[in-house]
Amino acid sequence: MFDVIVKNGLVVDGSGAPGFKGDVAIKDGRIAAVGKVTGEARTVVDATGRVVAPGFIDPHTHFDVQLLWDGAAKPALEHGVTCVVPGNCSLSLAPLKIADRARLIGMFQQIEEMPPEAFTEAFEWTWEDFAGYRAAIEKDLSINVAPLVGHSVIRLWVMGPASQERAATPDEIKAMQDLLRECLEAGAVGLSTSFVDVDENGRPVPSRFAQFEELDALSAVLGEFGRMLQIVPEFYATDITIARIDQLAELSLKHNIPTTFSPVFDNAGTPNSVPRQIARVEEQFARGARVWPQMQTRPADISFSLLRPSLFFGRLPRWMRVLRQPLEQRLAGLRDPAIVEKMIADTGPDEGEKLLGRLVLRGGDAAPPELAGMTLSEIAKARGETPARALISLSLEHGLDVAFVSANAGHEKTERVGPMLAHPLVHIGASDGGAHLASFATYGDTGYLFSEFVRKGHLTLEQAVAKITGETADIWGLKDRGRLQPGKAADIVVFDAERIDRAEELPIFDMPGDGMRYTRAARGIDTVLVNGEVAYTAGSYTMARAGVVCV
């Protein structure tokens, strides 16, 4: 007697091999048989007309904090994602001393656009070490988690405030190695670091103060375990990114570790950038290094209102300064002519025509509906203002609750991105799931892979499934995951190949603190099993809590 049989589906097993009609049987959380299965099961999932694939793996997320109150990382699981990798970009919730919590929250707020209340209102913060964090999330998981540990927090633990001031001493590097080893033994899948990020005060994060020798020493510890090194390079500059690829290759070869860098954006302004990066990666792989460029599927769309700070204002420091204030002070700032003039000056001599004019009003609770779909340039002309002034005045008239979208700001040309995603050395990921809550929905990139790139012929169904299952598991060393093979963990998604997609991006109010995030529901996903238990089916989450920390 099996526990579950998923019957009569098109089995696409995650290896890239052609799909075949068949069944998948599950016993004790593991795949027991694949093919024509005879025998009975307590639960039968009818997959007639559907694809049966391994659960998708999302290798670049920031679900670290959300997992403490939402063990499904919603809506990731309903999109077919059965394993997420949090802890990217040098930031994780452990190891962290109590005294350093505010500092880390500030970094998450600045870098990942997560409200501080998400860290203070929704859970009891009981741990300092990595094992404690693992225990805290494991209490209620319905999705699997392969957590990275952040270089910045390791540095912060060992060096305190000096982690953002200077190079480490040999003794401090030794202490960091010991701490990293402890984290890896406690279940960390690897180490993440960042070369670009700053904290809420504009100060580079701790990882950026590390000499290469420090990263080399930490990579030596990763080598003891064969675990991953993830980095965020200076993605805006191709030459620097290529230098980072070379550094990663050196570490990969020396310590026999996999490495990955993200994001990798295709941008119309620098059309040779991604091809040059991939060419360098090909050269480094030919030498035996493992340096995986991690590329997202979705175009870069950024939404914002003046209700919250947004990465859209990253290059407008005076705007960011005002928007970081509590609401009353923010309103006062936006009404202060002297401050407004400085903000306007930030937007250039045309007062935002080039920078802001193409923004489209997307709506908001208080947005005038007749303006929805108009560009800020059009709105400004109608009001007799410049775009920068119209953005402020219109927002003030409506309680700041007027949302704009900067659409297709990069990575939007399917005919260019498709072949890149299909490249055998390009690793699909970089969703940023769980972060940038009020800027864009970081969910549904897997559905978009099928709707935009498979159904338009850039990848086969089997290629696409392998890219986000078997290949991802191989890259990350997740030996139990990613393929429908007897003995593997029974992480399975059943979906309609003609319908799978991401739904429209919508604001919802389910987060702690100010509560809002953009999200996308799933389309075409029938059933998701995690470690053999049905975690999502027929549009609803179940009570199953079979997720684990998996390395």
Partner 1 sequence: MAALTRQRRFVTPGPDETVEELARRAVPDAPLEAAVDQIKSWNLHVFAMRRPPGLLLGSDVVFVEPPITNA
Contact footprint for partner 1 (CB under 8 A): 166-167, 195, 202, 204, 207-212, 214-215, 234, 237, 239-240, 242-244, 246, 276, 279-280, 283-284, 286-288, 317
**Left, alpha or beta for 275 (phi > 0: left; psi -120 to 50: alpha)?**
alpha
Q: Measured from the CB of residue 193, what is the shortest distance to partner 1 in angstroms? A: 8
Q: Name which of 23 and 214 has its Cβ closer to partner 1.
A: 214
CA distances for 511 relative to 139, 196, 323, angstroms: 20, 27, 20
| Residue-level length of the chain | 551
Q: Say which residues have a Cβ less than 8 Å from residue 415's Cβ, sequence separation at least 6.
A: none
To which residue do tokens 């002070």 refer? Answer: 329
CA distance 548 to 551: 9
Q: Name which of 211 and 408 has its Cβ closer to partner 1.
A: 211
Q: Name which of 246 and 412 has its Cβ closer to partner 1.
A: 246
Q: Measured from the CB of residue 256, what is the shortest distance to partner 1 in angstroms? A: 14
CA distance 235 to 264: 7
Q: Measured from the CB of residue 311, what is the shortest distance to partner 1 in angstroms? A: 16
To which residue do tokens 């099928």 refer? Answer: 450
Other residues' Cβ atoms within 10 Å of the Cβ of residue 509: 8
Q: Measured from the CB of residue 165, what is the shortest distance to partner 1 in angstroms? A: 11
Q: Measured from the CB of residue 295, what is the shortest distance to partner 1 in angstroms? A: 21
Q: Name which of 242 and 500 has its Cβ closer to partner 1.
A: 242
Structure tokens at 386: 């410049």
Structure tokens at 213: 């020798």
CA distance 417 to 155: 36
Q: Name which of 242 and 421 has its Cβ closer to partner 1.
A: 242
Please answer whether residues 44 and 4 qualify as being in contact, where contact means their C-beta atoms are separated by less than 8 angstroms: yes
Q: Measured from the CB of residue 321, what is the shortest distance to partner 1 in angstroms? A: 12
Beta bridge partners of 404: 304, 361
Please answer whether residues 518 and 107 qualify as being in contact, where contact means their C-beta atoms are separated by less than 8 angstroms: no
To which residue do tokens 């499904």 refer? Answer: 72
Please answer whether residues 133 and 173 qualify as being in contact, where contact means their C-beta atoms are separated by less than 8 angstroms: no
Q: Measured from the CB of residue 253, what is the shortest distance to partner 1 in angstroms? A: 9
Q: Name which of 284 and 439 has its Cβ closer to partner 1.
A: 284
Q: Name which of 110 and 284 has its Cβ closer to partner 1.
A: 284
